[in-house]
Amino acid sequence: MYTYTEEKKFTKEQVQELFLSINWVSGNYPERLYRALMNSSTVLTVWDGERLVGLIRVLDDTAMLAQIHYVIVHPDYQGKGIACAGHSIDHEQRSKGISTSKPVTIEKDVWIGANSVICGGVTIGEGSVIGAGSVVTKSIPANVVAVGNPCRVLREVREEDRIPMDELAF
Ligand SMILES: CC(C)(COP(=O)(O)OP(=O)(O)OC[C@H]1O[C@@H](n2cnc3c(N)ncnc32)[C@H](O)[C@@H]1OP(=O)(O)O)[C@@H](O)C(=O)NCCC(=O)NCCS
């Protein structure tokens, strides 16, 4: 059974293991990483028993805005899908609370830009980028940049997209 908590009960070693499990470089700086998480306003964690298997870092101003900075899922727990609820388009059914649920699948190493919406039944392929503010109504293949409402493929991810190491933010 999975449990979720906002309590920062994780240890430095547990977060390091989680970040390294997906090859994030910040896992190589456990002191800074742990301090950053402890100083973050909200960190939601997911546990399989005593094992840390997921983490969501939220940055907020405590009054008006909260943004999900990132979502990390341990590779052993990826690919399980996210259920997306919907209601009947027919108003009589809707008024009786008749609703649907279609899975959303977000494959590995996807970047979803701020304020995007992913509709039920959609898969976003490995390595793809969804531009800010997109509404994704149909599945997006792997390794592409896709933008807009409705979200459409703009181009493939290219070698030139790699940021030179001396320009890295972290
Ligand atoms: C998609 C993105 C990664 C840029 O990709 P890119 O290939 O470099 O795209 P470009 O800037 O060259 O733009 C190409 C075209 O797509 C359009 N475009 C870019 N981003 C778009 C978006 N989010 N929605 C709609 N159109 C977009 C541009 O206007 C341009 O259109 P044009 O050819 O008609 O002039 C970037 O625009 C983006 O949305 N980043 C997400 C930022 C974010 O959400 N950050 C949150 C913190 S992690």
pLDDT at 68: 85
Is ligand 1 within 6 A of the CB of residue 141? Answer: no
Other residues' Cβ atoms within 10 Å of the Cβ of residue 87: 13
How much is the average pLDDT of 11-35? 96
Is ligand 1 within 6 A of the CB of residue 153? Answer: no
Report the separation in Å between the CA atom of 131 and the middle of ligand 1, taken as the mean of its atom positions.
5
Phi and psi at 89, nearest 5°, equal -75, -25
Is ligand 1 within 6 A of the CB of residue 131? Answer: yes
Taking only the tens place, the pLDDT of each residue in 95-152 is: 998 988 898 999 988 999 988 999 999 999 999 999 999 999 999 999 999 999 999 9
Report the separation in Å between the CA atom of 106 and the middle of ligand 1, taken as the mean of its atom positions.
20
Distances in whole angstroms, Cα of residue 74 to Cα of each of 5, 13, 132, 156: 16, 14, 25, 27
Claim: this prediction has a pTM higher than 0.85: no
In this prediction, residue 47 has a pLDDT band, given cuts at 50, 70 and 90, of very high
Protein residue with its CA nearest to atom 17 in ligand 1? 147
In this prediction, residue 61 has a pLDDT band, given cuts at 50, 70 and 90, of confident
How much is the average pLDDT of 3-26? 95
pLDDT at 140: 98
Distance of CA 98 to the CA centre of its chain: 28
Other residues' Cβ atoms within 10 Å of the Cβ of residue 111: 12
Report the distance separating Cα 80 and Cα 54, nearest Å. Answer: 13
Q: Which of 69, 154, 161 to mutate to test the pocket of ligand 1 (most atoms within 8 A of CB)?
A: 154
Is ligand 1 within 6 A of the CB of residue 151? Answer: no
Protein residue with its CA nearest to atom 39 in ligand 1? 131
Report the separation in Å between the CA atom of 88 and the middle of ligand 1, taken as the mean of its atom positions.
33
Position 1: which residue type? Answer: M
DSSP for residue 140? B
pLDDT at 166: 77
Q: Is the pLDDT of residue 81 over 80?
A: no
Given a contact cutoff of 8 angstroms between Cβ atoms, the answer to whether 153 and 141 are in contact is: yes
User: For the chain, first and last CA: distance in Å?
Assistant: 34
21-30, 82-91, 138-147: the lowest-pLDDT one: 82-91
pLDDT at 170: 59
pLDDT at 50: 95
4-8, 19-23, 43-47, 162-166: the lowest-pLDDT one: 162-166
Is ligand 1 within 6 A of the CB of residue 121? Answer: no
pLDDT at 157: 98
pLDDT at 144: 98
pLDDT at 169: 66
Is ligand 1 within 6 A of the CB of residue 110? Answer: no
Q: Which residue has the tokens 């039944």?
A: 121
- Residues with a known catalytic role: 87
